């Protein structure tokens, strides 16, 4: 079967969930081959094999985290030239989308971003304009380079031991240099873009304390990520990087719980492909109710603490 290359995202050996999803997506169209780069890469092959990788190309060189994007492009290009895969899949993260863009140039290949599905004939489904329009498209030149959104497919287990191949890449001297890495308030919560559940708050949450006292405790009970509407991040109630919407993150979780969010198009554009949507809002006319599988017209200051207490009582 034809090889399908998958770029694995990992930090110090901790593989991101989206990478395992991409192995499952690759298995739909060919034989998954993982490329895993950077410190910790050498400890991941067991997990990747278990999730369907037939081969794993490994390079633990620090260059991949010490420069922006370019070394990853160089490594993938060398594997593509050697293996001639039928497609290259990378996660739809900020970094990997840039990898995909540069890879398109080095491999003279078309690139499609933010796929939600890939068919056996390598045609791609995308939800564009914030999920309002569903598009079918295809790369027509070169090796299709496709970025895939998190939560598009469930990871598959039960794979065998993968063949591990040490990757030897010659890198040119880089033009960027990462001098420091700063973690902002490590919360222990899942990444917003790949979380299975997102608990999100908007204007109705009304304050920073509202997020702290109403949204975060519920999120933590559910093992969820916290999101916020632009109104809430603009007001400074929650950090900007957690904004869901047209100008923020796009999420597609199993469950999206929106509280105090009216559902302006700016927000819907970031969440309307969520599988199940639950809404708490005191305005019965709020457009967010159009997307809701279950909606409560009510005051979130009463409903959320009550819900949180009830879930706590069940545990």
Partner 1 sequence: MGVTALKICVCIKQVPDSWAEKKLTAADNTLDRAAADRVVNELDEYAVEEALKIVEAGEGEVTILSVGPVEAADSIRKAISMGAHAGIHIVDDAIHGSDAVATSLVISEALKNRDFDLIIFGSESTDARMSVVPAMVAARLNLPQMTFAKKVEVSAGALTIQRQTETGYDEVKSSLPAVVSVVEKINEPRYPSFKNIMAAKKAPLETLSLADLGVAASSVGQANAWSAVSAFADRPAKPAGTKVVDDGNGAAQLEEFLVTAKFI
Which positions from 214 through 233 interact with partner 1, judged by CB under 8 A?
222, 233
1 lies in the site for partner 1, by CB under 8 A: no
C-beta of 31 vs 213, nearer to partner 1: 213
Return the structure tokens found at 238.
């929650």
Location of structure tokens 């308030």: 185
Compute how many other C-beta atoms are within 10 angstroms of the C-beta atom of residue 256. 29
Return the structure tokens found at 179.
């001098």
292 lies in the site for partner 1, by CB under 8 A: yes
Return the structure tokens found at 243.
């904004």
Report whether 274 contacts 251 (CB < 8 A): yes
CA distance 30 to 49: 15
314 lies in the site for partner 1, by CB under 8 A: yes
Q: Footprint of partner 1 on residues 250-279 (CB under 8 A)? A: 250, 254-255, 264-266, 269, 272, 276-278
Q: Which residues of 144-178 are buried (b: 16+ CB within 10 A; e: fewer)?
A: bbbbbbbbbbebbeebeebebbebebeeeeeeeee
Among the listed ranges 22-30, 55-63, 105-113, 202-210, the one in contact with partner 1 (CB under 8 A) is: 105-113
Among the listed ranges 27-35, 48-56, 159-167, 299-307, the one in contact with partner 1 (CB under 8 A) is: 299-307
69 lies in the site for partner 1, by CB under 8 A: yes
Axis crossing angle, helix 70-83 with helix 94-106, rounded to the nearest 10: 50
Planar angle of CA 161, 28, 8, nearest 5 degrees: 55
Shortest separation between residue 159's beta carbon and partner 1, angstroms: 26
Among the listed ranges 28-36, 40-48, 69-77, 199-207, the one in contact with partner 1 (CB under 8 A) is: 69-77
154 lies in the site for partner 1, by CB under 8 A: no
C-beta of 8 vs 269, nearer to partner 1: 269
How far, in whole angstroms, is CA 71 from its chain's centroid?
22
133 lies in the site for partner 1, by CB under 8 A: yes
C-beta of 86 vs 222, nearer to partner 1: 222
C-beta of 45 vs 109, nearer to partner 1: 109
Nearest to 153 by CA among 4, 8, 18: 18
C-beta of 26 vs 73, nearer to partner 1: 73
Query: Among 83, 112, 169, 219, which residue sits at the site for partner 1 (rule: CB under 8 A)?
Result: 112
180 lies in the site for partner 1, by CB under 8 A: yes
Shortest separation between residue 7's beta carbon and partner 1, angstroms: 15
Q: Footprint of partner 1 on residues 73-92 (CB under 8 A)? A: 73
Report whether 218 contacts 308 (CB < 8 A): yes
283 lies in the site for partner 1, by CB under 8 A: no
Nearest to 64 by CA among 87, 95, 107, 92: 95
């Amino acid at each position: 079967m034809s090889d399908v290359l998958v770029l694995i995202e990992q930090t110090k050996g901790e593989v991101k969930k989206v990478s395992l999803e991409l192995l499952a997506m690759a298995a739909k169209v060919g034989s998954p081959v993982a490329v895993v780069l950077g410190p910790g890469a050498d400890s991941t092959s067991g997990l990747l094999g278990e999730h369907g990788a037939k081969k794993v190309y490994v390079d633990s060189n620090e260059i991949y985290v010490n420069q922006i994007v370019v070394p990853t492009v160089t490594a993938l290009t060398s594997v593509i030239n050697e293996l001639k895969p039928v497609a290259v899949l990378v996660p739809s993260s900020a970094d990997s989308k840039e990898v995909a863009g540069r890879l398109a140039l080095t491999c003279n290949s078309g690139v499609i971003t933010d796929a939600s599905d890939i068919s056996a004939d390598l045609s791609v489904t995308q939800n564009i304009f914030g999920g309002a329009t569903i598009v079918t498209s295809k790369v027509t030149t070169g090796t299709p380079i496709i970025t895939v959104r998190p939560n598009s497919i469930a990871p598959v287990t039960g794979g065998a031991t993968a063949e591990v191949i040490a990757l030897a890449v010659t890198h040119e001297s880089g033009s960027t240099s990462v001098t420091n890495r700063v973690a902002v308030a490590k919360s222990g919560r899942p990444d917003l873009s790949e979380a299975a559940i997102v608990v999100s708050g908007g204007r109705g949450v009304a304050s920073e304390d509202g997020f702290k006292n109403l949204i975060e405790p519920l999120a933590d009970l559910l093992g969820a990520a916290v999101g916020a509407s632009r109104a809430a991040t603009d007001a400074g109630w929650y950090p900007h990087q957690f904004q869901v919407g047209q100008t923020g993150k796009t999420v597609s979780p199993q469950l999206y719980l929106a509280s105090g969010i009216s559902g302006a198009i700016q927000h819907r554009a970031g969440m309307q492909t969520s599988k199940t949507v639950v809404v708490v809002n005191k305005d019965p006319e709020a457009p967010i109710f159009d997307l809701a599988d279950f909606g409560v017209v009510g005051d979130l200051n009463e409903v959320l603490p009550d819900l949180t207490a009830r879930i706590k009582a069940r545990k």
